[in-house]
Amino acid sequence: MIRPNRLIGLCCGHHIPKKRLLHGSRCMQNNQTSSNYSIEANIRTTSTGLVSQKLKVPSFKKPENPEVNEGKEFEGFVVQEVSEIPEFRLWAYRLHHRATGAQYLHIQRDDTNNAFSVGFRTTPNNSTGLPHILEHTTLCGSLCFPCRDPFFKMLNRSLATFMNAMTGPDYTIYPFATQNVQDYRNLMSVYLDAVFNPQLRESDFRQEGWRLEHENLNDPTSPIIIKGVVFNEMKGVFSENQSLFEQKLLNNILPGHTYGFVSGGDPLVIPNLTYNDLKAFHAQYYCPSNSRFYSYGNFPFVGHLKYINDNYLSNFKNTPPKDGRNTSVPSENRWSAERHKHITCRPDHMAADLTKQSTIAISVLCSDITDIQETFELQVLSQLLVQGPNSAFYKTLVEPNIGAGFAPVTGYESQTKDTIFTVGLQGVNPKDFGEVLKRYDETLTKVLNEGFDEKHIEGVLHGIELNIKHQSADFGLGLLFGLSSLWNHDGDLVKALKVEDQIYLLRRSLKDNPQHLQDKVLKYMKENTHRLILTMTPDEDYEAKQAQAEQELLQTKLAALSQQERAVLFQQALKLRDEQEKAEDTSSLPTLLMKDLKKEIDLTSVKDVDVSSIPIQVCVQPTNGMTYFRGIVNIKELNSELKTLVPLFCQVATKMGTQRHSYRELDQLVQLKTGGVSLSGHIADDTMETFSYEEGILFASYCLDRNVKDMFMLWSELLNEGSFSDMKRFETLVRVTAADLINGIADMGQHYAISSAASLVNPASYRKELASGLSYVGKMKEIAQMSDLTPVLAQIRQISETVFNKKHLRCAVNLSSDTENAVLKEMEVFLGSLQGTAGLPLLKTQDPNYYLEKSAVRGFHHILPIPVNFAAKSLSTVYYCHSHFPSLRIMARLITSKFLHPHIREKGGAYGSGLSLSPSGVLNFYSYRDPNSAATFDIFDQASEWVSQNSFTDKDIEEAKLGVFQTVDAPIPPGSKGMNKFLYGIHDFLLQMHRSALMSVTRQDIIEVAETYLGQKSQSKCGRALLGPKNEVLHLRKAENWEFLQQDI
Ligand SMILES: [Zn+2]
């Protein structure tokens, strides 16, 4: 899997905030989707980029609250604005709470995936991580829900499609989404009580923030070290050089106020935070006058208002922040001259070219975030300048081999009060910094002189139009994330939603003044003196210096301790552990019950037709004027050497151009006619057999109905006339792909650890490891280092010639009923143009001797220069349709929440942990950003014993089932309906059987499968992986037969 690129999609003209600066405190959402937990999850995360995008296309309805008019008052809230946004088929209601000034935005839309959020502006004035640690600790128990960690407990009592809390540079939000109205109320009550009435106990602060504690809790002579969930989390975040770079960029271009600090927390500053600071920060910022409520979906919202007012807001008066300081963020004073800043980072011995490990970025401060039109136009401008092979900076910075590609900070960022445009290049030799700066200025001059190609502008605007129509399963959350920053600075939310007005105004400006966009380039880029040049080079001693700084900090803390205080530390640690281990009363928490779930699945009607002898699955859906196309070619018959190049092939095949069009022309066509064309590896676990799978290449695209003919012509051209001769282009793509992969290792640590461990126990997982695990990263690095890529390009061409034909092909199309005939006709032309004759569309690859081949090594230790660990242990069980599979699935969930979470996260201080089950039945234990390693493996090994002790309650089983159904019942957008069948061969009747079986799993079933698959016998057949710093302890674990792999050689 390629690390997802930054989200460039426009959401109401605003960026979805960048992931790294947003610290989602609870990683369970990641866990659910990033691990190959289930068929359902696989479908949503298939790398086509299509699937995660679109849900419920609403029929446009009048709001059901016609009496909610401007000026009227409901439940203490005054309606300020009611506005229809036709392009998104929604109604926006803006309200404010009369007594406290709290703000409320409701988005009424015919969408069942209702969302809610409560948020606060949080503007720290130091880097102790106050807002982030507060976000964690508010979720540790509250007045009405006094149990430990109600937030995590709700995960098991709810059908939430999303639950999390996030800290941005200047705000904190607590969002969730669910399709069940009772669940919505339950979650709302827990969230609101958490933020307004948290217990904020000192022990919560110590657990989530930081604490001094003996390394071994039971041994007062063991060294005292710094522990804490956020402390470890932030060490993990900054172990990735590009995260560090991004943080420093923000701190340095906006040094004047809150952005000069690390809102997530600097690990070397976090231990200066006191418990009293935390309580004071809560009192100051989490008050109604500083709060923003958001609701979205088809549930009536006046009831939400009543609940909020009656239970929370009516208890408060209009309380300004306590120290009288306004929380609003001032505009940055503009500089009169550019500034330079240099930082160092950890060397990356994985880099393909060791002399090229530095990063440089040029950032300029742009418009105020509340200037909606300007923000929108800068977004368009940014795409024209840095996105795709036709963009100006791509041509002058990425294509010439100066660096390895754009740094992730590249682009327009509208999260902060003053918005920022950045062009950054990673994988640069420091001696070329000057060259980059020179080219930056030359590029701007060229753009100012030559302007932008009209087709290029049209392509970008078409992309925006497509994004409006092509909405996601989590549309409501997408809006929230897109609007949060603007709202945080009191911008006009309704105006921001009116994207068509913004497009119209831009078109008119361009008509009146063809130089319109160049004028912006002149103003914001060329003549802007608020310009930061940030450079970063590796320092061989970086790690040692960081470790030393941490040691010194620790020593200062220890020196200040008296003997007596040390004794207290020892006692506190034991007390914290006792608290963590204590069985507790969770009866105060609301919960859904299994009986609230529907027994039957929603059937998806699909029909199978043959066009030009190729099987096509047709799924008629309310697609809102869009057509979704997918095809799979089977590659079983490809030789194994070529198979290892398939991931690279998928990366480049749509980007090399064709015999008719250069790659630049092709990119323009794709942008003008489609939402993108993509190829990706398809390795589908067999649902009927353990050591069997399907391997293929999935191609996917979507377009507005009016462009269907063009879309299929494009595919026909790509598949029949692909050009694999432009060596320079190929080199660029290889370089950029390799650099992205290598830079993403720490970020993707959990995925890589699981992939590596699972590759030891299952052939499909082994194949996936080669295609998307560290093996693939290594392979790409090797290729990037080759002096002559001619033989590789020849092999890529050979793959194209071998697989792009009718022989082993099947297709699927999701469309509206009125376009069916027209689309099938275009498909006939397309399929008719392909070579070969149709044979078997689906072949299975079997590998029963897999164990024999891989039996020697049972663990891979990937030694990486990162300060935290990612651990994984995998076991092979049974396939999806086996009668034990549903019990295993419930068991995995039970172990995750009742055994692993308390031991590995709460006590061990890891950011997350879990046990997932893949469709072919691989159980994967994992921990995420873990300060421990060997101890974590011991906990993995104890899971079976824990189950057999039978100490879980019936309620625990019920909760595990609910947890599983969160995934099973997650909404699937119209563009992705029917994919269970098309991709995995899972028909509705199998889904129904699986559903019924999950519901009837018993305690005895769980104990039996745990004994059978996790018990002593299984231990010899499991695989393990550890990513992290070199760990000699593994040598002592002889039975596990570890192989040490130095990843930096
Ligand atoms: Zn966090």
Handedness of CA 910, 915, 920, 921 (dihedral sign): positive
Q: How far is the CA of 812 from the centre of ligand 1 (A)?
A: 40
Q: How far is the CA of 199 from the centre of ligand 1 (A)?
A: 18
Q: Which residues pair with 697 in a beta bridge?
A: 633, 681
The pLDDT tens digits for 449-478 are: 999 999 999 999 999 888 888 867 889 999
- Least confident segment among 94-108, 145-159, 167-181, 396-410: 145-159
pLDDT at 623: 87
Q: How far is the CA of 169 from the centre of ligand 1 (A)?
A: 13
Residues in the chain: 1049
Model confidence at 412, pLDDT cuts 50, 70, 90, reads very high
Decide if pLDDT at 147 tops 90: no
- Least confident segment among 206-215, 323-332, 536-545: 323-332
The pLDDT tens digits for 261-284 are: 999 999 999 999 999 999 999 999
- To the nearest 10 degrees (0 to 180), the angle between helices 749-758 and 774-785 is 100
Q: How far is the CA of 438 from the centre of ligand 1 (A)?
A: 40
Within 470-605, where are the H helices? 475-488, 493-497, 499-512, 516-520, 542-559, 563-581
Q: For residues 949 and 27, is the Cβ–Cβ distance under 8 A?
A: no
- To the nearest 10 degrees (0 to 180), the angle between helices 1003-1014 and 954-968 is 80
The residues spanned by each domain of the chain are 74-329, 339-472+491-538, 607-846, 857-1046
Q: How far is the CA of 8 from the centre of ligand 1 (A)?
A: 24
Q: How far is the CA of 262 from the centre of ligand 1 (A)?
A: 13
| Mean pLDDT, range 371-380, rounded to an integer | 96
- Least confident segment among 13-22, 198-207, 632-641, 726-735: 13-22
Decide if pLDDT at 46 tops 60: no
pLDDT at 848: 65
Task: Render 334-372 in DSSP notation, one character per residue.
Answer: PPSS-EEEEEEE---TT-SSTT--EEEEEEEEEEETT-H
pLDDT at 857: 75
Q: How far is the CA of 268 from the centre of ligand 1 (A)?
A: 16
Pick the CATH number of 74-329 from 3.40.50.1100, 3.30.830.10, 3.40.640.10, 3.90.1570.10: 3.30.830.10
Q: How far is the CA of 230 from the centre of ligand 1 (A)?
A: 6
Q: How far is the CA of 81 from the CAs of 69, 105, 135, 489, 918, in angstroms?
A: 8, 10, 31, 18, 48
Of 911 and 301, which is predicted with more confidence? Answer: 301
Decide if pLDDT at 191 tops 50: yes
Model confidence at 843, pLDDT cuts 50, 70, 90, reads confident
Shortest CA distance to 620 belongs to which of 823, 466, 470?
Answer: 823
Q: For residues 480 and 175, is the Cβ–Cβ distance under 8 A?
A: yes
pLDDT at 22: 56
pLDDT at 378: 97
Structure tokens at 862: 């990937």
Q: How far is the CA of 132 from the centre of ligand 1 (A)?
A: 6
Cα distance between residue 239 and residue 546, in whole Å? 11
| Mean pLDDT, range 699-721, rounded to an integer | 96
Shortest CA distance to 724 belongs to which of 670, 834, 799?
Answer: 799
DSSP annotation of 20 reads: T
Pick the CATH number of 339-472+491-538 from 3.40.640.10, 3.60.15.10, 3.40.630.30, 3.30.830.10: 3.30.830.10
| Mean pLDDT, range 147-174, rounded to an integer | 90
Strand 859-863, strand 1042-1046: pairing: parallel
Decide if pLDDT at 4 tops 80: no
pLDDT at 316: 74
The pLDDT tens digits for 84-120 are: 998 888 999 999 999 999 999 999 998 999 999 999 9
Cα distance between residue 521 and residue 937, in whole Å? 55
Decide if pLDDT at 389 tops 80: yes
Q: How far is the CA of 965 from the centre of ligand 1 (A)?
A: 26
Would you name the residues annotated as active-site residues?
135
pLDDT at 867: 80
Which residue type occupies 1002? Answer: T
Q: Map tokens 């609301």 to a residue.
A: 590
Q: How far is the CA of 130 from the centre of ligand 1 (A)?
A: 11
Q: How far is the CA of 30 from the centre of ligand 1 (A)?
A: 13
Rounded percentage of the chain residues whose pLDDT exceeds 70 = 92
Model confidence at 317, pLDDT cuts 50, 70, 90, reads low
| Mean pLDDT, range 805-820, rounded to an integer | 94
Q: How far is the CA of 609 from the centre of ligand 1 (A)?
A: 49
Cα distance between residue 998 and residue 1021, in whole Å? 27
CATH 3.40.50.300 fits 857-1046, yes or no: no
Fold of 607-846: Cytochrome Bc1 Complex; Chain A, domain 1 (3.30.830)
Q: How far is the CA of 27 from the centre of ligand 1 (A)?
A: 8
Q: How far is the CA of 254 from the centre of ligand 1 (A)?
A: 23
Decide if pLDDT at 53 tops 50: no
* 3-class state of residue 255 by DSSP: coil
Strand 77-85, strand 73-74: pairing: antiparallel
The pLDDT tens digits for 630-662 are: 999 999 989 989 999 999 999 999 999 999 999
Rounded percentage of the chain residues whose pLDDT exceeds 90 = 72
User: 552, exposed or middle or buried, with CB in 10 Å at 0-12, 13-18, 19+?
Assistant: exposed
The pLDDT tens digits for 993-1019 are: 999 999 999 999 999 999 999 987 777
